[in-house]
């Protein structure tokens, strides 16, 4: 049961990488330092991923998260971050899921991390690209800061819930993913209908 719970935490955190890359990585680092009510660590990482709990890594992730969040409010940097976000989210998602898969051979850890963690991070990131593109087209980019704020909020909330209630967080993120796909398909159909008229 502990292995399943750890895997769910890893997947939920990986999914939040689709909103912001460094916030979930920061959450991993912070949660390894926290303790539950019985004095046990809140989360445990696989043995070869203990470096994620180190002080230098905490500082790097904190600074990177601040710059990433701030960057989405600057128009030119916003577009540059969008170009980098999808591959970065997949890498971060793969790393996080692999870090939570304990008791496995390293090759299997990474394989499952890439398939499950990287896959879910990439899927969620795709919906944010669609939302930002829709915002840019419909508002001329003026609505992008609102989209950025919502994404950042989801990233923090998702990371928090992932550590404390992973199945719940994963369910919410998957619902948001499918809602994003529905909105995208609906807008495309509306665009085609308007084009015919």
pLDDT of the residue at 2: 67
**pLDDT tens column, 144-197:** 888 889 899 989 988 888 887 766 666 776 777 777 777 777 777 776 666 666
pLDDT of the residue at 58: 94
Query: Token match 């976000």: residue?
Result: 85
pLDDT of the residue at 190: 73
pLDDT of the residue at 63: 96
pLDDT of the residue at 166: 64
pLDDT of the residue at 177: 73
pLDDT of the residue at 44: 83
> Which range of residues forms the domain containing residue 9?
2-196
pLDDT of the residue at 80: 81
Indicate the pTM of the whole model.
0.79
Residue ranges in the chain modelled with pLDDT below 50:
1
pLDDT of the residue at 26: 94
Looking at the structure of the chain, the number of domains it has is 1
């Amino acid at each position: 049961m502990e292995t399943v719970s750890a895997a769910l935490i890893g997947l939920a955190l990986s999914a939040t990488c689709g909103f912001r890359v460094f916030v979930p990585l920061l959450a991993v680092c912070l949660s390894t330092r926290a303790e539950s009510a019985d004095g046990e660590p809140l989360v445990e990482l696989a043995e070869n991923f203990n470096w994620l709990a180190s002080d230098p890594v905490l500082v790097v992730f904190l600074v990177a998260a601040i710059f990433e969040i701030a960057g989405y409010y600057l128009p030119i940097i916003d577009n540059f971050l969008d170009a980098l976000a999808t591959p970065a989210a997949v890498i971060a998602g793969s790393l996080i899921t692999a870090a939570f898969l304990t008791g496995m051979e390293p090759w299997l850890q990474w394989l499952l991390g890439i398939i499950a963690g990287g896959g879910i991070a990439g899927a969620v990131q795709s919906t944010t690209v669609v939302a930002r593109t829709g915002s840019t087209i419909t508002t001329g980019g003026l609505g992008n800061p609102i989209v950025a704020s919502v994404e950042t909020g989801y990233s923090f909330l998702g990371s928090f819930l992932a550590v404390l209630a992973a199945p719940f967080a994963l369910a919410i993120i998957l619902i948001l993913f499918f809602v994003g796909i529905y909105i995208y398909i609906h807008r495309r159909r509306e665009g085609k209908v308007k084009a015919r008229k």
